[in-house]
Amino acid sequence: MTQAPAQKHSSTDSTMTSEPSTELKLKWLRDMQLIREFENRTAQAYQQAKIGGFCHVYTGQEACAVGTIGSINDDDPVVTAYRDHGHALARGMTPEACMAEMYGKITGCAKGKGGSMHMFDRPNWLFGGHGIVGAQTPLGAGLAFAAKYEHDVMKKRVDGSEAKKKVTLCYLGDGAIDQGAFHEALNYVSVHNIPVIYIIENNGYSMGTAINRHTANSGNLISRGESYGIDSLEIDGLDIVELYKGFKPYVESCRENSRPGFVDLKTYRYQGHSMSDPQKYRTKDEVDEYKAKDSIARLASQLMESGDLSEDDWKSMQKAIRDEVMSAMQAAEDAPTPELSELITDVYANPEKNLSPQTTYTHGARNPLL
Ligand SMILES: Cc1ncc(C[n+]2csc(CCOP(=O)(O)OP(=O)(O)O)c2C)c(N)n1
Ligand SMILES: [Mg+2]
């Protein structure tokens, strides 16, 4: 599976943003390296059985989350699939809360009840982490609809605060683009002018099935967005600077015009699909070919060439990040597991009624299982 590097732009071309500042590039380098280190340690902890359940790491794809989340506002909603640690960290979740969640500890972002696939961070406007392929795509439409309704109709938020013009980012993998719910969502958001951008993190594989074997017209994914009347964009997701230059004006155009978006963001994952994947469907040469184009190494060498980063600075940045992640792991290790009483807290709207054999559901029907 080899994907052609892409940079096919739509009508937003004319508004390509200017070169990002050195400060921003250094921040991206740090954010991407944090995800890389975090994911390498996650894989290690999984192998030591400190983390259980399904676990999918994001190594290789770091520029996607960092570059796209770096193009929106702190209070724009974000929702994604199960390969979600990178999005959580890019959105501002602490490594402690993210790691503790995977360790099943009470200090985790979802009190240890969600695990790897369900990173959730309400203060940072991250609405999961979803394990059912494509399930987050109608949720992305709903989040964007709610924000638009608050702005255009209610003129304020439900809590009385200012309603802003927002854009929602909804991520999905190339393996999710043929889900029916996604097509219904695309149709809906286009008809109703809902500003949600669907970002296909196209890593070329759905588990072990290469894209040309799982989807029709795989070389032209944006034709799907265009067929719903959505101005769509192809971007090379391995080069964060180019990604930002193309994506940032696109976001602002969707925000201003209250229009949805569809982005084919071409990327590659270095590890297997999940932690138990013998990877018989691809060659080591293919993986190495992509590693040679690594987004972190590329940005670091660009910054060195421009004289904005020395070898020593880069080494000490890597060390500081390593220490930060190690201390998050230690904190996760030391944190307590949830009390039994936490089992149904935050799970049901009214746990007692729904779980008691004597009572009925809130809407009055009797529980048929009892
Ligand atoms: C509805 C549904 N069908 C099947 C699965 C099993 N499954 C989990 S991940 C996956 C592959 C999805 O690949 P992709 O969307 O490309 O995401 P990636 O893992 O590459 O990030 C499948 C089929 C699932 N979780 N949900
Ligand atoms: Mg994929």
Q: Which residues line ligand 1 (CB under 6 A)?
A: 56, 83, 131-133, 173-176, 203, 205-207, 273
Provide the 8-state DSSP code for 158: T
pLDDT at 44 over 50: yes
Q: Which CATH class is domain 11-338?
A: alpha beta
Task: Supply the pLDDT for residue 354.
Answer: 54
Contact in structure between 60 and 270 (CB atoms under 8 Å): yes
What is the position in ligand 1's atom list of the atom closest to the CA of 274?
19
Ligand 1, closest atom to CA 206? 13
Cα 31 to middle of ligand 2, angstroms: 22
Would you put residue 74 in left (φ > 0), alpha (ψ -120 to 50) or beta? alpha
pTM of this prediction? 0.92
Backbone phi and psi for residue 172, each to the nearest 5 degrees, phi listed first = -150, 160
- β-partners of residue 261 are 197
| Ligand 1 atom 25, closest CA | 132
Cα–Cα distance, 347 to 345 (Å, whole number)? 5
Q: 83: buried, middle or exposed (CB in 10 Å: 19+, 13-18, 0-12)?
A: buried
98-117 residue pLDDT tens: 999 999 999 999 999 999 99
**R_g of the chain computed on alpha carbons:** 21
pLDDT tens-digit readout, 256-304:
999 999 999 999 999 999 998 999 999 999 999 999 999 999 999 999 9
Ligand nearest to the CA of 204: 2
- Listed by start position, the domains of the chain span 11-338, 339-370
pLDDT band at 342; cut points 50, 70, 90: confident
